[in-house]
């Protein structure tokens, strides 16, 4: 994996010229004035033409070294557009039933939505409640400091959330929230399961600890997003359950688009390369996000 | 006539639609499935990986049966090199599918052609495979013709096996009996008796 030098490292003309490529077969039998069209790509590809401005010799060398390190058009790399924009339905990847982490075609993601087979996914909020509970407590105090828990906080006491109870010796009991029934929240052994029990209880967990417990509630949803956590500094998504084999993952977001690409040309003299980067534009051939 | 799902036919009749081709090779007990789509596609639990290929010359015979087709597969990563060079792939099953993408429903496919690998050639960039219909076996030429007379060309030869003192043979069964060599008789002496007789499978038809 490699990343094209950023705008701050080597200044470039902003915004970059981006050409969107689709592939459509159109019928050649058009004597009747009608035509048939067949789409051959599900997702578009983007070609980029980059022009740099006000370069120093060192910055030119940086670009040339990057070109040489890619072996011309051989090795793919990531290119981040300078201008932040809003994008819809960008291809992330295709699930295989086991892979849970995917690099997103974005960095600095904001107001985003993630879809698996066109179904919007819920984002994981991580730990949403941490409380110390005394031995005498039979209820939890809410994170906002309000009165003792009455299970009215639907965000915390929601089916599918996860609870970890730690005794004073650091031993844990873990389980999933089931469906609230009156004032009782059942703990289930599996997410969405039917068996009311702990998922796991550490050996020697003290069920009557006079020093009290720490209770953490996790909002485990469909996925967690890690800003800049992917390859080449792209944002990364990790699913709680691996998307099914063949399910396509798409992403709506506002941010800087990441384009996977490779140099178009294999053969260039240094003079030609210089002409490309300051005048006619260095051509980058776009690929899909998972290539 | 080939039976194709009505939803697929309806989609194909539209002015604009999304269709991909797919090929499935069954070689040595394993399936190798590829599509010319830009992303992987899973249909009925079978995952088709993107790979460049071209289909050409699906030829039809007078009997309206596809007899041969050519597939040119991208092989820059040498996926097929070890598979084809290291084993005998002739006779392996090949299916060519048409995959239709619907606006809302999951994609579906129909088989366009199926056959077996007949011959192939390989170079650095591609493997070219000729696929022959299994029905082509009906029109294969035989290497021998069978008649009521003995068909061994050489008297006292390897197939004849006679080692006695006789010097001539008229290739009749009676001569073979006279020479005590009828176990090696190379003809089908009952053929004249079934010539022009009706042949049926299963129970004898009522006359």
For residue range B164-204, list pLDDT tens digits in order.
999 999 999 999 999 999 999 999 988 888 888 877 777 77
For chain A, percent of residues with pLDDT exceeding 70: 92
Which residues in chain A are contacts of B42 at CB distance < 8 A? 245-246
pLDDT tens per residue across span A139-153 = 544 344 444 444 556
**C-alpha span between A266 and A268 (Å, rounded):** 7
Per DSSP, the three-state class of A65 is helix
The pTM of this model reads 0.72
| Interface A:B, Cβ pairs < 8 A | 45
Closest CA to B82 of B39, B28, B46, B131: B28
Per DSSP, the three-state class of A98 is coil
Q: At residue A202, does pLDDT exceed 80? A: yes
Per DSSP, the three-state class of A284 is strand
> What CATH architecture applies to the domain B6-138?
Beta Barrel (2.40)
DSSP per-residue letters across B74-103: E-TT-HHHHHHHTS--TT-EEEEEEEEE-S
For chain B, percent of residues with pLDDT exceeding 70: 90
pLDDT at A148: 41
Nearest C-alpha of chain B: how many angstroms from A192? 25
Residue B56's DSSP bridge partners are B70
Q: A232-236, A250-254, B104-108: which has the minimum mean pLDDT?
A: B104-108
Could A288 and B15 be called an inter-chain contact, meaning their C-beta atoms sit closer than 8 Å? Answer: no
Residue B44 tokens read as: 């009925």
User: Between B152 and A129, whose confidence is greater?
Assistant: B152
Closest CA to B54 of B80, B32, B23: B23
CA B88 centroid distance within chain: 15
Residue A117 tokens read as: 């087979």
Q: At residue A81, does pLDDT exceed 90? A: yes
Q: At residue B51, does pLDDT exceed 50? A: yes
pLDDT at A222: 84
Domain-wise residue ranges, chain B: 6-138, 141-196
Helix extents (H) in chain A: 57-69, 270-275
Which residues in chain A are contacts of B17 at CB distance < 8 A? 37-39
Among left, alpha and beta (phi > 0; psi -120 to 50; other), residue A279 is alpha
Of chain B residues 55-114, which have a CB less than 8 A from chain A?
Answer: 101
pLDDT at B136: 64
**Which residues have C-beta within 8 Å of that of residue A5, sequence separation ≥ 6?**
A59, A62, A63, A66
**C-alpha span between A164 and B2 (Å, rounded):** 60
My answer on whether omega of the bond before A15 falls inside 30° of 0, hence cis, is: yes
**C-alpha span between A168 and A171 (Å, rounded):** 7
> Which of B38, B47, B104 should one mutate to test binding to chain A, selecting the residue with the greatest count of A CBs within 10 A?
B38
Nearest C-alpha of chain B: how many angstroms from A81? 23
Could B40 and A94 be called an inter-chain contact, meaning their C-beta atoms sit closer than 8 Å? Answer: yes
């Amino acid at each position: 994996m490699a990343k094209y030098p950023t705008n701050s490292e080597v200044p470039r003309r902003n915004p970059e010229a981006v050409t969107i490529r689709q592939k459509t077969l159109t019928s050649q039998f058009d004597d009747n004035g009608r035509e048939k069209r067949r789409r051959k790509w599900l997702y578009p590809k983007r070609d980029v033409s980059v022009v740099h401005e006000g370069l120093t010799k060192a910055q030119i060398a940086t670009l040339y070294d990057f070109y040489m390190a890619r072996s011309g058009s051989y090795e793919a790399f990531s290119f981040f557009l300078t201008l932040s924009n809003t994008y819809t339905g960008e291809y992330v990847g295709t699930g295989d039933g086991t892979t849970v982490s995917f690099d997103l075609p974005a960095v600095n993601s904001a107001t985003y939505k993630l879809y698996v087979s066109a179904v919007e996914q819920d984002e994981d909020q991580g730990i949403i409640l941490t409380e110390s509970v005394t031995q005498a407590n039979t209820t939890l105090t809410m994170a906002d400091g309000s009165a003792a828990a009455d299970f009215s906080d639907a965000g915390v006491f929601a089916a599918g959330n996860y609870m970890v109870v730690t005794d004073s010796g650091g031993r844990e009991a873990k389980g999933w929230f089931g469906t609230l029934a009156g004032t009782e929240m059942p703990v289930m052994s599996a997410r969405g399961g039917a068996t009311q029990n702990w998922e796991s209880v550490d050996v020697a967990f003290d069920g009557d600890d006079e020093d009290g417990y720490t209770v953490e509630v996790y909002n485990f949803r469909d996925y967690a997003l890690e800003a800049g956590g992917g390859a080449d500094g792209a944002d990364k998504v990790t699913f709680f359950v691996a998307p099914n084999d063949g399910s396509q993952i798409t992403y709506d977001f506002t941010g800087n688009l990441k384009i996977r690409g490779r140099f178009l040309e294999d053969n260039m003299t240094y003079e030609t390369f210089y002409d490309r980067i300051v005048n006619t534009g260095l051509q980058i051939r776009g690929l899909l996000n998972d290539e | 006539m080939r039976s194709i799902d009505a939803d697929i036919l309806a989609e194909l009749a539209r002015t604009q639609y999304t269709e991909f081709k797919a090929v499935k090779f069954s070689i040595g007990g394993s399936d190798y499935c590829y599509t010319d789509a830009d992303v992987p596609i899973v249909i009925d639990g079978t995952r088709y990986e993107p790979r460049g290929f071209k289909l050409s010359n699906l030829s039809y015979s007078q009997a309206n049966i596809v007899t041969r087709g050519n597939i040119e597969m991208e092989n820059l990563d040498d996926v097929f090199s070890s598979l084809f060079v290291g084993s005998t792939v002739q006779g392996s099953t090949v299916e060519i599918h048409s995959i239709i993408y619907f606006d809302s429903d999951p994609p579906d496919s129909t088989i366009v052609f199926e056959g077996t690998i007949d011959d192939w050639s390989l170079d650095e960039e591609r493997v070219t495979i000729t696929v022959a219909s299994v029905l082509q076996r009906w029109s294969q030429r035989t290497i021998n013709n069978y008649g009521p007379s003995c068909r061994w060309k050489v008297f006292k030869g390897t197939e004849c096996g006679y080692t006695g003192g006789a010097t001539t043979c008229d290739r009749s069964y009676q001569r073979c009996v006279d020479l005590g060599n009828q176990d090696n008789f190379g003809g089908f002496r009952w053929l004249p008796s079934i010539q022009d007789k009706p042949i049926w499978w299963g129970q004898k038809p009522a006359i």
